Amino acid sequence: MTDRVQLHEPYSDSGQQHEADMMGMSVFLASEIMLFGGLVIAILVIRYLHPAETVEASKSLHLWIGALNTVVLLTSSLLVALGVTAARAASAWWTTRCLFGVAILGLVFLGLKTYEYSLEYADGVLPVLSDPPRFSGSIEHLFMNVYLMATGLHAVHVSIGIALLAGLAWRVGRGGLQLPQETVTIEVSGLYWHLVDVIWVFLYPILYLAR
């Protein structure tokens, strides 16, 4: 992929190309925010329609696993920021380690999330899978439905982010990605990871802390 060092077709200077790449990712992330926005609205509407039952349903979530996951993701975002700084300073060694660190923290997040799903499965409150389901009422069922949709979609985004950053770390480590010329690739992928993190920062309170 050494062609990335050169300018893409419509560009004549690298500053312009860098700005365009960053802006393209920002616009894409705006669109991602709207994607989750629909789900957030659904969660808030359910809470508005059934306040007492929603608070009750929220108590069946495992608050501390969610809190731990928040810490894991926030730490990973710090690593992304460090990785980008290292890339700007042309330190392939540090960049590789930071990005691999992010991917590992991402896997830790997914592992904790899976453990949490399995606990909910055992409690009989994981929609679709729990058989027989043991919801205390229809509102808890509704709440767990939207919980599974929201966290599931978020987990898909985390998985994409892990693949993206692990791939980048591998390329940097093998010298396939020239630093600092191609820092922008790491920067835009890092932006994506930050967004995945920010989405969790919103999902956590409206799902877990709603109790």
Q: Which residues bind other proteins (CB under 8 A)?
A: 8-10, 12, 16, 19-20, 23-24, 27-28, 30-32, 34-39, 41-42, 45-46, 49-50, 53, 127-128, 138-139, 141-142, 145-146, 148-149, 153
SS (H, E, C) 173-200: HCCCCCCCCCHHHHHHHHHHHHHHHHHH
**What is the closest distance, in whole angstroms, from the C-beta atom of residue 2 to other proteins in the complex?**
17
Backbone angles phi, psi at 125, to 5 degrees: -115, 10
Nearest residue (CB) to other proteins, 88 versus 141: 141
d(CA 120, CA 155): 16
How many other β-carbons are positioned within 10 Å of the β-carbon of residue 171?
18
Cite the beta strand spans of the chain per DSSP E. none
**What is the closest distance, in whole angstroms, from the C-beta atom of residue 78 to other proteins in the complex?**
28
Nearest residue (CB) to other proteins, 49 versus 71: 49
- Cβ distance 36 to 199 under 8 Å? yes
Nearest residue (CB) to other proteins, 40 versus 110: 40
Nearest residue (CB) to other proteins, 97 versus 154: 154
